[in-house]
Structure 1
Amino acid sequence: MKDFFYGIQDLFVDYLFAPYDMLRELQLDSWFGANVVSWLFIAIFAVLFAYWMKQLSLFDPEH
């Protein structure tokens, strides 16, 4: 049973958290490069928010 939990640990630490480790190392070299992910999420949010507002305007009774 202990090997099962060590397997889960290896999966997360060695494989699934690897992108976060790369971003942490990139931050020391390039602040802009490390924050591209944040800017990407902000851009996606802005597009989705605009789409949501457009869809809400379709149901406006005074429209």
Structure 2
Amino acid sequence: MKAFFEGIQTLFVDFLFWPYDQLRSLELTSWWSANIVNWMFIIICICAMAYWTIQLNIFKNNNEDEDDTTAHSFLK
């Protein structure tokens, strides 16, 4: 049973977390490069927000947007 858990440890520590170890060692030379994963997520979120805003404007310009405060029956 001990060998089973050591095998799981080897899988994660030596193989699956290897890219994160490389990023951690890269941080000593370049902070920007070490945080490339974070920057990719930030760029994806900015693109999603821009797309969402554009879609909202399209619906508003076509008068398909219902901004009446009584749009729901429970708000009457």
Look up the SS of the partner of 2:28 in the other structure.
helix
Report deviation, 1:52.
Answer: 3.5
* Larger helix percent: 1
1:31 equivalent to 2:31? Answer yes
Name 1:14's counterpart in structure 2. 14
Aligned length: 61
TM-score, structure 1 as length reference: 0.75
Q: Give the corresponding residue for 2:70.
A: none
In the alignment, structure 1 segments of 5+ residues that lack a partner are: none
1:47 Cα shift?
1.2
Higher relative contact order, structure no. (Cα contacts within 8 Å, ≥ 6 residues apart): 1
What is residue 66 of structure 2 aligned with on the other side? 61
Taking the aligned partners of 2:40 and 2:6, their CA distance within structure 1 comes to 34
Deviation (angstroms), 1:49: 2.5
TM-score (norm 2): 0.65
Query: Structure 2 unaligned runs (5+)?
Result: 68-76
Runs of 4+ in 1 over 3 A off after TM superposition: 52-55
**C-alpha displacement of 1:43:** 0.2
Structure with larger Rg: 2
